[in-house]
Structures are given as structure tokens and as C-alpha cells.
Amino acid sequence: MAEIKNFKKVLIANRGEIAVRVQRSCRELGIDTVAVHSDADSGSLHVKVADESVCIGPAKPKLSYLNIPSILSAAEITGADAVHPGYGFLSENDEFARMCHNWNITFIGPSVDCLEKMGDKIESKKIAKQAGVPTLEPIYISQLNNDEIKAQVKKLGYPILIKASAGGGGRGMRRIDRDEDLLTAIMTLQEEAKAAFGDGTLFIEKYITEPRHIEVQILADKHGNVIHLGERDCSIQRRFQKIIEESPSPVLSEETREDICNAAVRLAKFVNYDSVGTVEFLYDQEQKKFYFMEMNTRIQVEHPVTEQRTGVDLISEQIRVAQGHKLTLKQSDIKFDGHVIEFRICAEDPETQLPCAGTISHYHRPAGLGIRVDDFIYSGYTVLPYYDSMISKIIVKAPNRDQALIRSCRALGETVVSGIKTNLTLHTKILNHPDFKSNNFSTSFLSKKI
């Protein structure tokens, strides 16, 4: 039986909007917060609104937000009971979680065992299969010679996708369409994965053409209780990274929705999952079949979509279960309301679609009925080149999808970010595209239609 440890002070090992978001839940739970920041981030909002703050190193993430000794020292000095890792950075790092526990600091996330098992795309695929969750049959190439790889890929048929087992954030993936490109691509991706993730292990799976990305939000405690909070459709992506997410998915029948949500719960129960997490699937729209892709063992960027639809504060729940409390919510308590869409606003050049830093001369955020904005920027804030380019998330709710689209246009139209380049016009273009409006799209929408 897990003991209860109520936190007095939580250190948030992150920056940007998610650090601000975690502070909001802490505040409502009566927990003090410690912000950590790099030299470059001393003027950031997450530092200004925290109860305490500690500088943990120079601007480069490796030296600050990924600097485990520095973060643990900050927790020790400030007497924090727990660390919330946010997303990205150290959120899925089992070594970090293990060290937190060794220092008697609670890591607000799943057990080290879950992080280890589900953080690896190959291992988690094997587990999903054991749990009876449909997966794409992979080719594990590490034990094969070149001829064997070619023979197995031939059986699978092109297009295929080569993936790094340790990959994430849309990186470490390559689509291949022809035999001639196969071996060179494997070699280069292996080197890239080694450099980026410290692990060159690759596998191959069938590339599903024109799929939807559907994921299921899971909430679990340390007492064996697992519920789901419905799905999110994250098919509007660029370079394998999400930029618009919505719920409910407009392509699922009620029957498939139930199947996919139950599959996610089954998997979470199978691995004794004990925090918030997301099970990601690919949905083949023609075959009407779904396949397990990976599990994200952390809170996700798009969690507000689910919060707005269900009214559940996912981060408060995540903190409560980390303290050892039982879930107070049962599956039947989760009620879904309306249609919600989230837009990730990024500081980027519309021409190249690459991140673009600079000082915001004026910022005006949208408001009004059905609008939520999770951000950390303000007029006069300088967007830094060292970190992720996402500066704000606009989350729009309305009774149904058509009304949510109208309200989204209104909200994006109200938004002003001057002085820097952003992807606001890209979002407007997507919103006004007939295929997006009529729900006729897949993960390749952006590369093909815009």
C-alpha cells in the first residue's frame, strides 16, 4: 500500500507555458512552488510568478534544464518535496526519476519501471502486443544483416518508416519509398539517433498512408485504478510534430472510440501505470483499424483540450496521485462536453517554417466565451533561440465542431503578436481550408494541401 506524502513545496523542472501551468495547479492545491531557470531565462514569466526561484546554469538546455545535479541541488537547497518535470526536457528520463527517489524527492510522474518500459518504442510495442493491443508488426533490425533486412522489408512492402527506438518530438524518423534508399537511410539515421538520443537502435514498420493520429488520455493511481478521459485527434502535423489538436475526433464511430479508449486502459493496467499518460495510436481511415504507436509517460502539450472537454484538472490529479492518493474520479464520473480545438502558436518564419527568435513589441491575447490561453509571453518579452519555439496555446471550446471552427477564426483574428514572426497565418489558412472544415484530412494534410 503506497503511503501518503502531501507536498508542501514542488520544484518545477521546466520553463515556458508548462511551468506556469503547473504553478496554477500547485497554487490551487496550496503547494508552494520553486522555479528553476537558466541565465537567459531570469526575466521569464515562470520565474516571476513562482514563490522562489533558483538559477541552474547557462542558457544551453544541456547545462541547465537537462542538468540533473544542478536541479537536484536546487530541490535540496529549497527543501522541495517533489519535482514536476513538465514535458520535454527530463520528463521521460528514468535516470532522473531514479535519482529523485534516491534523494527522497518524489518525481511527479509514473514509476521508474513504467518510464523504463514505456519510454522505449521497441519495448513498449512488445508490451502492447502482450496486452492484446493492436500494433504494427515491426522489423527489429539490430540482429539482421543487410540481405535479411532487405528481404523482410520486401515482405512488408513500401512505403516503410524507419524509427529510432529512443526518438521523440518528431525526430528520429524517416519514410522510405524505394529499395535503393533503404540501407543508406538506415546508416545515416543510426548515426543521427546516436548523436541526438545517445542510442542508435532502430526498427522498421509499415508506413500507413493518410492515417489520423488518435491518442487517449489516461489517468491512473498507485492503487491499481485506471480511467481514460477520451481521445484527441492530432492529425494536423508538420514534420511529424503536432500543431493543431482537437477532441472529439471527428472520424471515430462511437464503437471505435470505445474500443480505442478501452485498449489504452488495458495497456495502462497491464504495466501498472500510475500517473497521467497518453497512449498514441495511428488510425487507418480506410480499414477503420487502429494501431498502438507509443506511450507518452508524462503530461502532454495538448492536455488542455481534454481539460476543457471534461472539466478535470489533469495536473492537479497528477500531483494528487503522486502524493499517493486514490483517484476520486470513476470512469462513470467523466462527462464529455462540446468540441475543443487547440492551436500551437510558434515563433517561426512563415517562409521557412523554422524557429525565429526576437522581441515581442506588442501582445494581445484572445478572450471571450469558450477561449483559454496557456502562454508565458508578454509585451516586451524576448523569445530566446535556445528553446522550443512554442510561445502560446489557444484552446477554443464550442458546443460542436462547426461552431468551434467559427469561434477559432474569431479568436485567431483577435490575437496580436507583433515584433516577431509567428505561425498565426498558417493556422488561419488551415482553418479556412475546405478539407479541414469538412473533416477530410490525414497526417499528410499540411505537406500536401497547404
The residues of the shown chain that bind ligand ADP, judged by CB under 6 A, are 87-88, 136, 161, 167-170, 173, 205, 207-208, 211, 213, 237, 240-242, 280, 282, 293-294, 296, 300-302, 388, 443
Look at residues 85, 15, 135, 45 and name the one whose alpha carbon lies nearest to residue 276. Answer: 85
> 262 with 275: CB under 8 angstroms?
no
Question: How far is the C-alpha of 134 from the C-alpha of 264, rounded, in Å?
Answer: 11
**Binding partner at 221 among ligand ADP, Mg ion, none, C-beta below 5 to 8 Å by kind:** none
Taking CB under 5 A as the criterion, which residues in 251-280 touch Mg ion? 280
Please report how close the Cβ of residue 1 comes to ligand ADP at its closest, in angstroms. 32
Q: Which does 88 bind (CB under 5 to 8 A by kind): ligand ADP, Mg ion, none?
A: ligand ADP
Q: How far is the CB of 296 from ligand ADP (least distance, A)?
A: 5
Residue 338 interacts, among ligand ADP, Mg ion, none and using kind-specific CB cut-offs from 5 to 8 Å, with none
Q: How many residues does the chain have?
A: 450
Nearest to 247 by CA among 336, 340, 172, 315: 340
Q: At what angle do helices 146-156 and 179-197 cross, to 10 degrees?
A: 110
Partner from Mg ion, ligand ADP, none binding residue 396, C-beta < 5-8 Å depending on class: none
Closest CB 109 distance from ligand ADP, rounded Å: 13
Which of Mg ion, ligand ADP, none sits in contact with 233, Cβ below 5 to 8 A by type? none
298 is an active site residue: yes
Query: Which of 58/168 has CB closer to ligand ADP?
Result: 168
CB of 134 to ligand ADP, least distance (A): 13
Between 280 and 348, name the residue whose CB sits nearer to Mg ion. 280
User: How many positions of this chain bind Mg ion (CB under 5 A)?
Assistant: 1
In 3-state terms, what secondary structure has residue 386? coil
Which CB, 298 or 397, lies closer to ligand ADP?
A: 298
Closest residue to bound Mg ion by CB:
280
Asked whether 370 and 407 are in contact (CB, 8 A), the reply is yes
Would you say 93 or 379 has its CB closer to ligand ADP? 93
Report phi then psi at 121, rounded to 5: -65, -35
**Cα–Cα distance for residue pair 325/3, rounded to 1 Å:** 8
Handedness of CA 2, 68, 302, 383 (dihedral sign): positive
Least spacing, CB of residue 395 vs ligand ADP, in Å = 14
Query: Which of Mg ion, ligand ADP, none lies near 200, with the C-beta cut-off 5 to 8 A by kind?
Result: none
Strand partners of residue 245: 342
> What is the number of other CB atoms lying within 10 angstroms of the CB of residue 386?
15
Residue 53, classified by CB atoms within 10 Å of its CB into exposed (0-12), middle (13-18) or buried (19+), is: buried
Instruction: Report the half-sphere exposure of 156 (CA within 13 A, side-chain side).
Output: 26
- Active-site position among 174, 298, 309, 320: 298
Q: Which residue's C-alpha cell is 520544484?
A: 11
Cβ proximity to ligand ADP: between 23 and 306 the closer is 306
Residue among 81 and 294 whose Cβ is closer to ligand ADP? 294
- Answer whether 278's CB lies under 8 Å from 312's CB: no
Give me the residues that bind Mg ion (CB under 5 A), please.
280
> Which active-site residues does the annotation give?
298
